[in-house]
Chains A and B, each alone.
Chain A
């Protein structure tokens, strides 16, 4: 049992380390090859700069029609399942932000004409924080958040 706890602790601290050190991200990530990858947005360290870089604005409105599904407690911050869904129509973009991460913008999705406003993936989280989903409708941004408690080293505590 002690050994099992120790494993979890090790895993947990490793995960936290990998994201936590993300402060250095902007400096260390090789400047990249892909023209359409938005380096400025993905490497920015605060949410509003990331959103401005990605979607052109950070003026967003909280809207309960945007649903963020994520666990209340994530025992392993390296794998946090997140689903974003909305009943709003004409959504062109969905962005997922882990507000506690050093580089908060995790993923953005450009939706084609046939796509429904639904995406599901798994993200890394450095610490307990809000997972924020931002959707773009026309030129308006709507968002909603879900707090996820990341337990590092605890047995589900």
Chain B
């Protein structure tokens, strides 16, 4: 169901990373239109982005981030072929990891 798409591209000396995650990002406040019951909260709380073994970015999110979150960030020092790893954890304890090479 869920998966992460990661694209990392070297532009000059900056590596630009763009990721898309599949996740419902339910705030816990939305009502199901049919049953009129609250849809339980289910959102990504933490995203860790690594370049080789170095943590470049740690994001902490609330349910206020849009469904199927998009995240883009930049860092300095990457080289073509270096691995970039993006992983998330949500409030139900589920997690996912994806690795991509800098192009």
Contact = CB atoms under 8 A, between A and B. Distances in A.
A58 B5 CA distance: 35
Given A107-B64, A108-B59, 18 more contacts: A14-B30, A18-B27, A19-B29, A21-B29, A22-B27, A32-B45, A78-B66, A79-B66, A83-B72, A106-B65, A109-B57, A110-B57, A118-B72, A118-B73, A120-B71, A120-B73, A121-B71, A122-B69
Interface string A23-50: 0110011101110111000110000000
Interface residues of B, number: 39
Nearest to B33: A14
B45 A124 contact: no
Given A25-B28, A37-B45, A109-B59, A115 B93 contact: no
B56 interface: yes
A106 B73 CA distance: 17
B16 to A, nearest CB: 9
Q: Closest 6 interchain pairs by CB?
A: A106-B64, A18-B30, A120-B72, A122-B66, A21-B29, A116-B74
B19 to A, nearest CB: 10
Given A114-B76, A120-B73, A28 B38 contact: yes
